[in-house]
Amino acid sequence: MQDIIAVLPESIANQIAAGEVIQRPASVVKELMENAIDAGATEIKVLIKDAGRTLIQVIDNGKGMSPIDARLCWERHATSKIRKTEDLFHIRSFGFRGEAMASIASVAQVEMRTRPAKSELGSMVVIEASKVLKQQEDVCAQGTSIAVKNLFYNIPARRNFLKSNAVEIKHIMDEFTRVSMPNPDVRFSIEHNGNLLLDLIPGDQKTRIAQLLALDSAEIFYGEEHSPAADYRVFLGSPKIAKKTRGDQYFIVNGRFIKDPYLNHAIANTYKEYLPEDTFPTYVVFLELDPERVDINVHPTKTEIKFEDEKTLYALLKSVIRKVLAENLIGSRVDSLFDDSSFQSFLQGKEQPEFPTEPKLQVNPSYNPFQLDGSIPRQKKNLGRWEDLYVGMESQPKEQEEAPNLFFNSETHSAPKQVFNGAPVMQLHQSFIVTQLNQEMLLVDQERAHERVLFERLMRNKERHKSASQQLLFPRVIEFSANDALLVEELLEEIRHLGFDINPFGNNSFIINGLPAESEKAEAKELLEGIVEEYKMSSGFQGADQQEKLAHALAKRSGMKKGRVMSGPEMTELLNDLWNCSEYRFTPDGKPVVIGFDAQQLAKLFA
């Protein structure tokens, strides 16, 4: 029988390993930044070109490497972090597998310069597709600089699977945030195509979180819990800044970002009573525990780990979350009852509790409320002839007050057809409109109906190039997180087409001079941030372009909400506008707007 098993060449084995470790440019950023942290760097620079396709360069001022280490670090399973099996249970560093550098070198062209502090000269190593092309002495600064060029140049299929620059740079910023957040004593900066995206100076942990998430420090609540099992430090966002996406949620164990649905559930379950419906909290949780009680050697990306005692960690986390929220939102300390010395003295019988006494009221019997200055009585005018005030009014015909037109814009919408012909309308639960049309009873969701009307109006404005804008009395400057700022910049022209008068203002900020005319009484910051959140949620909105997604996001944010009391003319006007839409039965994302019941269906309900 012919032998069919063969040992794969090292280059192919490295490319297979790279499929797990290096999935996209963001993976390279993560691995190189983590290595810089392990090297003791206090300043780390990340330079990106073309969202990582052309260049990813990470420069640090860490301890550097000797010439031998500079060559050996590119070999598979070469690591300085572990020496024996027992070391796997005492890991404090980010890297330890020895796979990342070899994986990067197998799918890119790499150039490294490195120099230890005590050496006058450093080393330069050039590698291409796992082959060392050059190694020589080099004059360079202390630390290490690694430039990864033309990622996946030798695997065209992998390169073709990369997404747009906007998507890839977002993933890079996610990894940059996850590494820089737990290291507030290190200075980090990142540039993309020569533009500085973030420059984080060393400081305290709360300031670093506020910088990365573009939050006000006053909106972040802090608390901690210490126990023999683990130590928690939690930074919780106020419910006021809750979002409709899960983006700003970070769980960091021993300095490493991880994903753990079980422990995240403890936070969400405790938070939910304080949050508006369908929103998610912002939080950063730091968990410190003995490395022997956690196994991080589960997956090559090291974001999935196993805990020795998850139930205890879950209970401790719920406790500290509940305590921090109670102290900051209710104004009471959860544990103050047992910590208070007077309460302990009362339990021991040393002192009696103080009970409130009934207040004593003082009454001035000479005070007369119908006298001025206590002496001059008020003159009673017209008390006996009040009917004279209304003489002649009964003969005047009453003019029908015209209801305000809240939904019709004559500039963008032709006159609606009167489809109801006097059919009665009624509001139900301040959320639904009940009426009759063509022998059917109709139940209309007023929030979704207004959403559909606004969406079609915005899309007509786009086609006619008539985006009405209402100018603000005072311009507003709005700062976003680095990720959201990149998204806004990508969508800037489409946002302007909606009626926003907006321009970049530097440092991830934008200045707004005008809002869309449809956004009546909207607050600029809440409106634009809400549109960004809605847009990020619209990934399931299949077949829609960017403008449609943004128009839908604006319609959802600007439209009326459930609980709005509507008059009869307002309901009729809304229904007329809805029936003039090209599609009145569903919202742009496919949710039902109108439900109809004919006589037979109603009869079946009573069968």
pLDDT of residue 414: 40
- In sequence order, the 6+-apart residues with CB closer than 8 A to the CB of 421 are none
Chain centroid to Cα 591, Å, comes to 24
- Between 353 and 448, name the one with better pLDDT: 448
- CA angle 67–152–258, rounded 5-degree value: 80
pLDDT of residue 541: 46
527 in helix, strand or coil?
helix
What's the average model confidence in pLDDT over 327-339?
58
Q: How many angstroms separate the Cα of 433 from the Cα of each of 429, 442, 450, 569, 599?
A: 9, 8, 12, 12, 18
pLDDT of residue 78: 63
Closest CA to 58 of 77, 76, 37, 72: 37
416 pLDDT band, cuts 50/70/90, is: very low
Q: What's the whole-number average pLDDT of the chain?
A: 79
- Between 405 and 190, name the one with better pLDDT: 190
Buried b (16+ CB within 10 A) or exposed e, 484-508: bbbbbebbeebbebbbbbbeeeeeb
pLDDT higher than threshold 60 for residue 163: yes
pLDDT of residue 389: 47
Q: For the chain, list the domains and their CATH numbers.
A: 10-203 (3.30.565.10), 206-297+308-330 (3.30.230.10), 425-596 (3.30.1370.100)
Residues β-bridged to residue 257? 252
pLDDT of residue 603: 86
- Between 543 and 205, name the one with better pLDDT: 205
Widest CA span in the chain = 125
- Between 324 and 294, name the one with better pLDDT: 324
**Is the separation of the CB atoms in 37 and 27 below 8 Å?**
no
- What are the phi and psi torsion angles at 224 (to 5°)? -150, 160
């980090």: which residue's tokens?
188
pLDDT of residue 459: 85
**Is the separation of the CB atoms in 435 and 442 below 8 Å?**
yes
- Between 530 and 173, name the one with better pLDDT: 173
Q: By mean pLDDT, which of 5-14, 33-42, 424-433, 539-548 is the weakest?
A: 539-548
What's the average model confidence in pLDDT over 364-376?
53
Taking the C-alpha atoms of residue 271 and residue 485, their distance in angstroms, rounded to an integer, is 27
Residues β-bridged to residue 442? 435, 596
- In sequence order, the 6+-apart residues with CB closer than 8 A to the CB of 438 are none
Closest CA to 265 of 278, 276, 281: 281
Q: What is the pLDDT of residues 174-229, one digit of tens each?
A: 999 999 999 999 999 999 999 999 999 999 999 999 999 988 888 999 999 888 88
pLDDT of residue 273: 84
> Amino acid identity, residue 75?
E
Q: 593 — alpha (psi -120 to 50), left (phi > 0) or beta?
A: alpha
> Amino acid identity, residue 464?
R
**Is the separation of the CB atoms in 16 and 115 below 8 Å?**
no
- What are the phi and psi torsion angles at 48 (to 5°)? -125, 140
The number of beta carbons lying within 10 Å of the beta carbon of residue 115 is 26
User: Over pLDDT 90: what percentage of the chain?
Assistant: 32
pLDDT of residue 211: 92
pLDDT of residue 352: 45
User: Over pLDDT 70: what percentage of the chain?
Assistant: 75
- What are the phi and psi torsion angles at 481 (to 5°)? -65, 160
Which helix (H) or strand (E) segment holds residue 123: the answer is strand 122-128
Taking the C-alpha atoms of residue 196 and residue 173, their distance in angstroms, rounded to an integer, is 12
Taking the C-alpha atoms of residue 70 and residue 87, their distance in angstroms, rounded to an integer, is 23
pLDDT higher than threshold 80 for residue 409: no
Alpha helix segments (H runs only) across 491-545: 492-497, 524-537
Q: Computed from CA positions of residues 488, 492, 494, 497, in that sequence, does the dihedral angle turn out positive or negative?
A: positive
pLDDT of residue 67: 92
For residue 2, what are its two tokens? 């012919």
Q: How many CA atoms lie within 13 A of 574 on its CB side?
A: 28
- In sequence order, the 6+-apart residues with CB closer than 8 A to the CB of 64 are 39, 114, 115, 116, 117, 119, 122, 142, 143, 144
- Between 588 and 29, name the one with better pLDDT: 29
Taking the C-alpha atoms of residue 21 and residue 100, their distance in angstroms, rounded to an integer, is 6
- Between 436 and 95, name the one with better pLDDT: 436
Q: By mean pLDDT, which of 127-136, 249-258, 393-402 is the weakest?
A: 393-402
Taking the C-alpha atoms of residue 531 and residue 496, their distance in angstroms, rounded to an integer, is 13
Q: Tell how strand 509-516 and strand 501-506 pair up.
A: antiparallel
Taking the C-alpha atoms of residue 315 and residue 309, their distance in angstroms, rounded to an integer, is 11
pLDDT higher than threshold 90 for residue 247: no
> Amino acid identity, residue 488?
V
pTM, two decimal places: 0.69
421 pLDDT band, cuts 50/70/90, is: low
What's the average model confidence in pLDDT over 335-364?
47
What's the average model confidence in pLDDT over 414-418?
43
For residue 516, what are its two tokens? 């869309």
What's the average model confidence in pLDDT over 582-599?
88
pLDDT of residue 399: 44
Chain centroid to Cα 223, Å, comes to 22
pLDDT of residue 400: 41
pLDDT of residue 291: 81
157 pLDDT band, cuts 50/70/90, is: confident
Residues β-bridged to residue 112? 125, 146
